[in-house]
Amino acid sequence: MFTPIISCYIFFFHPFLPLSHPESVLCDVGEFHCHTKETCIPESWLCDGEPDCPDASDETDQTCAQEVVIRCPLNHIQCIGTKKCIHFNKLCNGARDCDDGYDEGVHCRELLSACHELRCRYGCVMTRNGTFCFCADGFEVGEDGTSCRDHDECAMYGACSQTCTNTYGSYRCSCTQGYILQPDRISCKAKQDPGDPRPVLLIGGPDRIVITDLNGTGLQPLRSLSVNGTLALDFQHNQEHVCWVLSTESSGQLRCAETRSLRGFTREREIRTQQSLQRMSSVRSCENLM
Ligand SMILES: [Ca+2]
Ligand SMILES: [Ca+2]
Ligand SMILES: [Ca+2]
């Protein structure tokens, strides 16, 4: 997704990897490992019709045949053998919503008494595989299988572009200072206020850290790296600090530097950590380290 309205510096990390360790990017739970092995994307971006992996492996027939089962949002069910998800309300409602009529059939009549016995607090789902309770949108079935409780949307990675606030029956996305919430109520884009510095990309590459314009022109090296490249990079805008992880064969090193107006690095130093950083794939806020 390209962001046309950007004003402040963008921080950008890219897990550039030593070629001898192609398996070193480990994705978090709830993330999909692109087949190039260099990128992780949220599982919710799989098979959504938009390529998000650099190699588009999130949209191939092979991936979607395996993954489509888990792709339906809350209170939706997959029409068997297709990518289509329909709301539970559309099961046994007398109208054919799945192309093959999977959502309708004699089971709708036969399972009525089983549904009645469940005593669901909100509603009962009848599928060809059986019955179960469901809740209003924004709620999920509790442990007893019949009651309803708030669904914590924020627990799902990628629910909001930046800040997620769970609310009873819903959730709210918001953006940090300098960013503005988009009409989809999920995404944040940097604001372009008059007098703001031009937007740039900071990229940690195999042998150097570079800065470029958003369209890739004006590429300018900021720092050469003497050892095996950058695994991760982050930029702290308000203090003009850059931190990056350098990989070596046996360990990793977290380094930070000041970079006034992104014209080069000063006061570069190593931050000592207890942890091995060898397999680190991202650096987040540096605030506690300064
Ligand atoms: Ca996608
Ligand atoms: Ca139907
Ligand atoms: Ca909620």
**pLDDT tens-place string over residues 226-264:** 766 777 888 887 788 888 888 766 667 888 999 887 778
CA 63 to chain centre: 17
Contact 290, 241 (CB under 8 A): yes
Q: What is the pLDDT of residue 36?
A: 77
| Å from CA of 93 to ligand 2 middle | 5
Per-residue pLDDT, averaged over 61-74, amounts to 70
Burial environment of residue 46 by CB neighbours within 10 A (0 to 12, 13 to 18, 19 or more)? buried
pTM of the model: 0.55
Three-state SS at 183: coil
Rounded to an integer, the average pLDDT of 4-12 is 30
Instruction: Judge whether residue 71 has pLDDT over 60.
Output: yes
Sequence-ordered list of residues with C-beta below 8 angstroms from that of 179, at least 6 positions apart, any chain: 162, 188, 189, 190, 191
CB 77 within 8 A of CB 84: no
pLDDT tens sequence across 35-64: 876 788 888 788 877 888 888 898 888 887
Instruction: For residue 103, report the distance from its CA to the centre of ligand 2, in Å.
Output: 5
Counting ligands in written order, the one closest to the CA of 43 is 1
Neighbours of ion ligand 1 (CB under 5 A): 45, 48, 50, 52, 58
CA geometry: angle 38, 43, 48, nearest 5 deg: 105
- Give residue 194 CA to ligand 1 midpoint distance, Å: 34
Residues 6+ apart with CB under 8 A from 20: none
Q: Which of 178, 121, 177, 170 is nearest to 144 (CA)?
A: 121
Name residues whose C-beta falls within 8 Å of residue 166's C-beta, 6 or more positions apart in sequence.
150, 152, 153, 154, 155
**What sign does the dihedral 176-177-183-189 (CA atoms) show?**
negative
What are the CA-CA distances from residue 266 to residues 54, 244, 260 (Å)? 34, 14, 8
Distance 56 CA to ligand 1 centre (A): 8
Task: Please tell me the distance from the alpha carbon of residue 228 to that of residue 212, in angstroms, as a whole number.
Answer: 22
